[in-house]
Structure 1
Amino acid sequence: MTEEVYAKANSLSPDVVRSRFAASGVLRCPGGDSSAQVTGARDVITTAAHAFRDLCKPPMSPDKCIFEYYLGAEKRTVPLSAKLWMGTCFEHGAKAVAGDWAVAKLAFPAEVTPYEIYEGADILVELERVLAAVGYDIEAAGKADRYGPFNKTMQECQIRDVRDWSIFETNCEFTVGASGSALLRLLGGRMTLFGVLSGDYHDQAYCPRGRCEFRSRQWSSVYVTLKGEFKDRLLAAVSQSAAK
């Protein structure tokens, strides 16, 4: 859903929805674009580690990247600083997914309300309904529906196939560029982040044409849980920020 469609579906003002999801934006680096979001403080972003590194090669310097977001209808850009923390790199398997997180600092604060850090116990509930907020999706960019052109999108979906509490799947569906985007729990009016998108399983043999039902490791999205070192690094970066 676009922000406008989400607003209509939930009987909300479009301005309220745009403000609520303003923290989601695009991370533009020399190697490509991905999604990221302002989290915990206005100068801290979370995303996927593979936005900065190719497999286990040395990461690019984050200060070569910019974070792009919208303040109302106005596009804003903020360069990244040189500060970057990422999960431990593994070439393959579940450990590679579990380490696919990154916390970076912006050179100056974005003018948005950050997503809050999920402060509850690290418990993932099978079939819990959650909300994905995507700053950038290559198939959405430049497309239009009856509500007009869009890029940022929301999806309501469910947690599926929790594995070792560090990674899990959902029945959300994305394409290239959505990596690093937020999965949110809605607690009242608060948007609390508890995972970032690592990637998708899109088995075309299983689903050759169009939208398909969830099937673990065949047609699903894979998330890194905000817990352990990921959460500790994020909390440390936020605690040192003066831009709450």
Structure 2
Amino acid sequence: MSLINNLKREIKNKKLYFIIISVCILVYSLSIYFIMSSFEEKSVISIVSTLDGQNGMAGSAAFIYLYTPILFFGINSHIISSEKEGFIIKMKTRKNILNNHVFFVIALSAIVSLLIVWLGYSIGWVYGGGFENLWPKRDRLYKLPQYKNLDILGVLNSIPIYIVFLKTFIIKFLGLSVIGFLIIILKNIINNNGILAIVVLLVPFIDFEFLNSAILMNKFSLTLETWVSSSDFIINIAYLLFLLIALYLVGREMYKDKDFISKGF
């Protein structure tokens, strides 16, 4: 119960931070809206995440250049303010301190994911002229060889709208949580905030630019394959859950012997 109370207090104390990230996501989504307003074919999903998974509010580009910095500043600030003498004494055990950080990451990831879904589909609804235009009627990806015997648009239109919302939230929530857990671990290794920021921002960037998004970004993205194939979506979810558990276990081992006094946070 004390961890939940601390989380509520932490979120309340960071009210300005949450207002700023809400404004940033709103401005970003509106920017996408105006950039794409000249396109002939308008669809809701184009605002949320294009079918290649790279653009839109939930695309890879936004994840790298918007959401990762948002997570870094929020989580790094939380750890710095939390790992002080008064808080450490109050938490009593290192495990409780780690769990407090984990709860904050989960709460932050959930809030950002809800903003993506709410703002993305609301602005997309206006842009597309309603959810009857959820999917683009013509897309180059529909013509890929693996889809030649499949009525792609028919399959997409058969997906209930609440499933579309839910899939978007789940994949973004887990993806953001993975990055958040990684930040907690890197914070214990790198004490310099400037170097830490560079490393955190480079991780998804390197994966996207040089590793063909194989390790992280493809798993965080909403691609055509993710929408069409339930098994592809489930595999991505299982992979992200595995990463979360693995990162938590690594963090727990690191916090077992963490020296808060000499670390000087």
Q: What is the TM-score of this pair, normalised by structure 2?
A: 0.25
Q: Which structure exhibits the higher relative contact order, with contacts defined as CA atoms closer than 8 Å and separated by 6 or more residues?
A: 2
* Greater helix content: 2
Flag the structure with larger Rg.
2
